[in-house]
Amino acid sequence: MFRWIVTFLWMLLLSGCGVPRSTDQFFSTPEAQFAQSAVRQLASGDVAAVEALLDDRIRQSQVGDEIRRVAAMLPTTEPTHVEPVDWRFFQQASLSEGGSSTRTTRVAIEYTFASGPPTAPAARWVVATVTLSGEAGAFRILGLHVEPLPAPLSELNALSLKDKGAIHYVFAVLAIASAALCLFAFIRCLRTRGLKRKWLWCLLTLVGVCSISLSWEQGSVSFQLLYVGFLGAGLSRVGWLGPWTMSIMVPIGAIVFLLSERQSTLPVEKQG
């Protein structure tokens, strides 16, 4: 119950901050609309218009040349498809300036074109990342990055075992085994008659501790000792089309319950 309350409050917080939770909401945000407008100006070669949108903190003498270099990575034709990739914001408060705060938003969008730019004809897919400062109506560009791709992100970041190494297979098997053990113990707990505090034991069977995570795209492994999760495994990704991360937890609750059941040490209510 506590977890659902925290999730509900977190969703309310995100809604209040304008964080989109769907594709339609993504493209209706002022940040995404501003980013798309800046990318269109960039593709059309309007260097002066893009330069006028830059934040004073990144203005340099050679900034026009850098904008032209980035613009060369974009096809001049209209995109055939547009997909949201990422949308996140950062709020920073300054105690030294009377409690004022600054808001920074990073918006990433994938564009699909019928053909690539002259500099890279094979790059039909491009991810444009625009970092903005300020609020709606007064956005300034803090960063503008364009990355040509050999394939769409949905393929590059697909959760697939194709062309993957042994570690990916090991993680997939262990994640399935850990989740299956939690579900098996949970069902056994539900079916155990006369078990004292059954609801607490059922909850315990779904708990996993520690976390070993695998970046599915890069194959890198990370470890979190102080971690508590449910179902012994998890999947997460960055934004809409970002890389997947698979996590495995030690299903300590399921192990404790099954061992206690086998040794008959579970507290059972006496039948009158």
pLDDT tens for 225-255 read: 888 888 889 888 888 888 899 999 999 989 9
b/e code 169-205 from CB counts within 10 Å (16+ = b): eebbebbeebbebbbebbebbeeeeebeeeeebbbbb
Q: Total domain count for the chain? A: 2
Whether the Cβ atoms of residue 222 and residue 171 lie closer than 8 Å to each other: no
Between 214 and 3, the more confident residue is 214
226 and 177 in a common domain: yes
149 and 35 in a common domain: yes
173 and 135 in a common domain: no
> What strands, in cross-sheet order, belong to the sheet with 125-133?
81-94, 100-112, 125-133, 140-149
171 and 85 in a common domain: no
Between 156 and 17, the more confident residue is 156
- Of 156, 189, 218, the residue at which a domain comes to its end is 156
- Of 133, 156, 179, the residue at which a domain comes to its end is 156
pLDDT grade for 268, boundaries at 50, 70 and 90: low
173 and 136 in a common domain: no
- Tokens in use for 21? 């939770």
Please report the pLDDT score of residue 169 as a whole number: 92
63 and 186 in a common domain: no
144 and 175 in a common domain: no
Residue 245 lies in domain: 166-262
Please report the pLDDT score of residue 260 as a whole number: 83
pLDDT surpasses 90 at 110: yes
Please report the pLDDT score of residue 101 as a whole number: 55
Between 265 and 10, the more confident residue is 265
44 and 144 in a common domain: yes
CATH of the domain at 74: 3.10.450.50
Between 49 and 117, the more confident residue is 49
**Whose structure tokens read 């008659």?**
193
Helix (H) or strand (E) holding 92: strand 81-94
Long-range contacts of 65-71 (CB under 8 A, 24+ apart): 67/42, 67/144, 70/42, 70/144, 70/145, 70/146, 71/42, 71/43, 71/45, 71/47
Among 3-17, 48-62, 78-92, the range with the most confident prediction by mean pLDDT is 78-92
